[in-house]
Amino acid sequence: MSLGASLAIIGLLNGKIIALCVIGGVFVLEVGSSLIQLISKRFFNKKILPVAPLHLYFLKRGWEEPKIVMRAWLLGFFFGILGLYIALIR
Q: Is 90 exceeded by the pLDDT of residue 14? A: no
Length of the chain: 90
The per-residue pLDDT for range 24-75, each reduced to its tens digit, is 899 999 999 999 999 999 999 998 888 889 999 999 999 999 999 999 999 9
**Residue 76: what pLDDT?**
95
Per the CB < 8 A criterion, the answer to whether 20 and 81 are in contact is: no
Q: Is 80 exceeded by the pLDDT of residue 90? A: no
DSSP label at 24?
T
Give residue limits of the domains in the chain. Answer: 2-89
Angle formed by the axes of helices 65-89 and 25-44, to 10°?
Answer: 110
The per-residue pLDDT for range 17-26, each reduced to its tens digit, is 898 889 889 9
Question: Model's pTM, two decimal places?
Answer: 0.80
